[in-house]
C-alpha cells in the first residue's frame, strides 16, 4: 500500500481521480488479510466512488467513520456446552489467561458453570465471552433457552463438546440458525484422544487417521441428529496452535461484520508466526487508512492544518502495538519468569522497548521527506501537512515491523520451554 499512498498524493494533486479509484480496490485487497479487513463492502464502494468523483471530504469521512466503528465495536460471544467439556478453558484461552490467574473463568472437574457468566477480555473491555449453562443441565428447554440467555446480543455461538454432540445441541443449533445467528461446533480435548489412542495402539497409531475418525464421527453424529453440513473444529485448549483452532479463527474473522473484525483479530492469542502475521495485517490496514485519511485532508481547502508529529501520541501507539502482541511490561515479566531468565536479559533482546531509537532513526524522516517532496513540488505550500502524515505513516509501519519481529522472537523462545 506504500505505493498507493504515494499514488494517492500524486493523483490527488493532479486531480487524476479516475485513475486513483481504479488503483484503489486492487491495492486495498492486496493489503487486507485473507480474512477480510475492517471496511464493509458498502464502505469500500462508497470510498471508491468518492475517490472516482474527487469528493475527498467524503473519502475522509468514510474512513474516519469506519475506524471509529472498528475501535468502538462491541463483541459478545456465547460459549455453550455440557459440564466439563472445556467451556471455561476455551474462554480463558481466548482471553489469554492461565487458569490460575485471578480473573480467569473457573476450571474444574465438578460442574462449575451453573449460570450464565460474563467474562470481559482483560485488554479489550468491549469484548465479552459468556459462559452459558450447558444443554445437558436439568433446566435446559430448547424452546425457552435462547430467550432466557438473551440470544439477540451475541455475535455468534460456540457449541462445545468433548465427546459426542447431543440432540439438544442440534436443536439449539437449529434455533440459533432460525434466529439468524451463526454457530460453530467445537470438539475439545483432541489431545487426550490422541494420547489415549497412542497408548492403546502404539504400533498402528497414526495421528491424522485418529483426527479424521473424530471428525467423521462428529459429522455423522450431527447429521444423524439433524444438523445439515455442520462445521466442526477439533481443538485442544492446551495447545491452540495445533489442530483446527487457526482455522476456527480464520472462519470467525471472515464471517464477522467488517467493523468487528479488527477488534477480534487484536484479541487473538499470538500462538504462531501465522497468527502474528494475521494481526499485523489488520494493523497495517489501519495505518494505511489513517494515512489515506490524512492525505485526503491535506487536499481539502480550509481544513485545519493536521496536528504535527505529536511524540506522546506516537509513544502511545508503540505501547498499544506492544500490548496487542503481548509485549507490554506485565507480559514481558511473565515471559521472563516462564523462561527462568532475568528480566533484563529478555528486555535486552527486544528492540521495541526503546521508543527514542525510533525517534532518532533518521531514515524514517528521510523517507517521509523524499516521498513528500515529490508531492510538494507539484502542490507547493500545503506540502508540510503531507510530510507530517507521511512521517506518522512510516513511523507506525516501523513500530509494527519491529514489534512483530520481537513477538516472533519471544514466541520461538517460549516454544523451546514448551517442548522441554
Ligand X SMILES: Nc1nc2c(ncn2[C@@H]2O[C@H](COP(=O)(O)OP(=O)(O)OP(=O)(O)O)[C@@H](O)[C@H]2O)c(=O)[nH]1
Give me the residues paired with residue 120 across strands.
128
Binding residues among 256-275 for Mg ion as defined by CB under 5 A:
none
Q: Is 88 in the site for Mg ion (CB under 5 A)?
A: yes
Q: Which of 113, 135, 237, 275 binds Mg ion (CB under 5 A)?
A: 113
Among ligand X, Mg ion, none, what binds residue 86 when CB lies within 5 to 8 Å by partner kind? ligand X
Among residues 19, 40, 64, 112, the one that binds Mg ion under rule CB under 5 A: 112
Contact in structure between 56 and 8 (CB atoms under 8 Å):
no
Binding partner of residue 37 among Mg ion, ligand X, none, CB cut-off 5 to 8 Å per kind: none
Q: Which 181-200 residues touch ligand X, going by CB under 6 A?
A: 188-189, 191-192
Q: Examine residue 237 and tell whether it contacts ligand X (CB under 6 A).
A: yes
Where on the phi/psi map is residue 120: left (φ > 0), alpha (ψ -120 to 50), or beta? beta
Looking at the Cβ atoms of 113 and 385, the one nearer to ligand X is 113
Nearer to ligand X, 191 or 320 (CB): 191
Angstrom distances, CA of residue 104 to CA of 23, 66, 95, 239, 249: 47, 32, 8, 17, 21
| Alpha-carbon span 341 to 327, nearest angstrom | 16
Q: Is 401 in the site for Mg ion (CB under 5 A)?
A: no
Stretch that binds Mg ion, among 111-119, 142-150, 299-307, 326-334 (CB under 5 A): 111-119
CA dihedral 234, 238, 241, 242 (to 10 degrees): -50
d(C-alpha 134, C-alpha 113), whole Å: 8
48-57 exposure pattern, b = at least 16 Cβ within 10 A, e = fewer:
bebbeebbbe
Question: Rounded to an integer, what distance in angstroms lies between the CA atom of residue 146 and that of residue 176?
Answer: 8
DSSP state of 32: S
Which segments within 132-221 are labelled E, that is strand? 156-161, 182-187
Residues in region 60-89 near ligand X by CB under 6 A? 81, 83-89
Q: Which of 415, 157, 411, 153 is nearest to 279 (CA)?
A: 411
Q: Does 251 participate in binding Mg ion (rule CB under 5 A)?
A: no
Considering only 64-72, 88-96, 290-298, 348-356, which stretch makes contact with Mg ion by CB under 5 A? 88-96
Q: Which stretch binds ligand X (CB under 6 A): 62-70, 145-153, 233-241, 279-287?
A: 233-241
Nearer to ligand X, 51 or 240 (CB): 240
With CB atoms as reference, the residue minimizing the distance to Mg ion is 88
Closest residue to ligand X: CB criterion:
86
Determine if residue 123 is left, alpha or beta; phi over 0 gives left, psi from -120 to 50 gives alpha, anything else beta: alpha
Q: For residues 105-124, which are near ligand X according to CB under 6 A?
A: 107-109, 111-113
Q: Where are the alpha helices (DSSP H) in 107-166?
A: 142-149
Residue linked to cell 479488527: 262
CB of 96 to Mg ion, least distance (A): 17
The residue (of 131 and 193) whose beta carbon lies closer to Mg ion is 131
How many chain residues touch Mg ion (CB under 5 A)?
4
How near is the Cβ of 88 to ligand X at its closest, in Å? 3
- Minimum CB separation of residue 137 from ligand X in Å reads 9
Counting DSSP H helices and E strands in the chain, the numbers are 18, 6
Q: Which residues bind Mg ion (CB under 5 A)?
A: 87-88, 112-113
Report the interface residues with ligand X, using CB under 6 A. 81, 83-89, 107-109, 111-113, 134, 188-189, 191-192, 236-238
Amino acid at each position: 500500500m506504500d505505493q498507493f499512498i504515494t499514488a494517492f498524493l500524486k493523483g490527488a494533486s493532479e486531480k487524476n481521480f479516475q485513475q486513483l479509484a481504479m488503483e484503489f480496490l486492487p491495492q486495498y485487497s492486496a493489503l487486507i488479510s485473507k480474512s477480510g479487513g475492517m471496511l464493509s463492502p458498502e464502505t469500500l464502494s462508497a470510498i471508491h466512488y468518492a475517490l472516482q468523483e474527487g469528493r475527498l471530504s467524503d473519502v475522509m469521512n468514510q474512513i474516519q467513520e469506519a475506524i471509529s466503528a472498528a475501535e468502538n465495536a462491541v463483541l459478545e460471544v456465547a460459549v455453550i456446552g455440557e459440564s466439563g467439556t472445556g467451556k471455561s478453558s476455551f474462554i480463558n484461552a481466548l482471553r489469554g489467561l492461565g487458569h490460575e490467574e485471578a480473573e480467569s473463568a473457573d476450571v474444574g472437574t465438578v460442574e462449575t458453570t451453573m449460570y450464565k457468566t460474563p467474562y470481559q477480555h482483560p485488554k479489550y473491555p468491549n469484548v465479552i465471552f459468556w459462559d452459558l449453562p450447558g444443554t445437558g443441565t436439568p433446566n435446559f428447554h430448547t424452546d425457552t433457552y435462547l430467550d432466557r440467555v438473551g440470544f439477540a446480543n451475541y455475535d455468534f455461538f460456540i457449541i462445545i463438546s468433548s465427546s459426542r454432540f447431543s440432540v439438544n445441541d442440534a436443536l439449539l443449533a437449529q434455533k440459533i440458525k432460525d434466529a439468524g445467528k451463526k454457530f460453530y461446533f467445537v470438539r475439545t480435548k483432541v489431545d487426550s484422544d490422541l494420547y489415549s489412542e497412542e497408548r492403546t495402539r502404539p504400533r498402528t497409531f497414526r495421528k491424522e487417521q485418529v483426527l479424521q475418525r473424530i471428525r467423521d464421527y462428529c459429522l455423522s453424529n450431527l447429521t444423524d441428529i439433524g444438523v445439515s453440513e455442520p462445521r466442526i473444529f477439533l481443538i485442544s485448549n492446551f495447545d491452540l496452535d495445533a489442530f483446527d483452532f487457526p482455522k476456527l479463527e480464520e472462519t470467525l474473522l471472515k464471517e464477522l461484520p467488517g467493523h468487528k473484525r479488527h477488534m477480534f483479530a487484536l484479541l487473538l492469542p499470538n500462538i504462531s508466526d501465522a497468527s502474528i502475521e494475521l494481526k499485523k495485517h489488520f494493523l497495517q490496514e489501519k495505518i494505511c487508512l489513517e494515512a489515506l485519511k490524512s492525505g485526503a485532508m491535506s487536499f481539502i481547502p480550509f481544513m485545519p492544518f493536521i496536528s504535527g508529529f505529536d511524540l506522546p501520541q506516537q509513544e502511545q501507539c508503540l505501547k498499544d502495538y506492544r500490548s496487542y502482541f503481548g509485549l507490554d511490561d506485565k507480559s514481558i515479566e511473565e515471559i521472563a519468569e516462564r523462561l527462568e531468565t532475568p528480566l533484563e536479559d529478555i528486555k535486552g533482546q527486544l528492540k521495541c522497548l526503546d521508543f527514542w531509537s525510533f525517534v532518532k532513526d533518521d531514515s524514517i524522516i528521510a523517507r517521509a521527506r523524499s516521498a513528500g517532496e515529490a508531492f510538494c513540488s507539484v502542490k507547493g505550500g500545503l506540502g508540510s501537512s503531507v510530510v507530517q502524515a507521511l512521517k506518522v505513516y512510516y513511523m507506525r509501519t516501523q513500530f509494527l515491523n519491529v514489534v512483530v519481529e520481537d513477538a516472533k522472537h519471544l514466541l520461538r523462545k517460549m516454544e523451546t520451554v514448551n517442548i522441554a
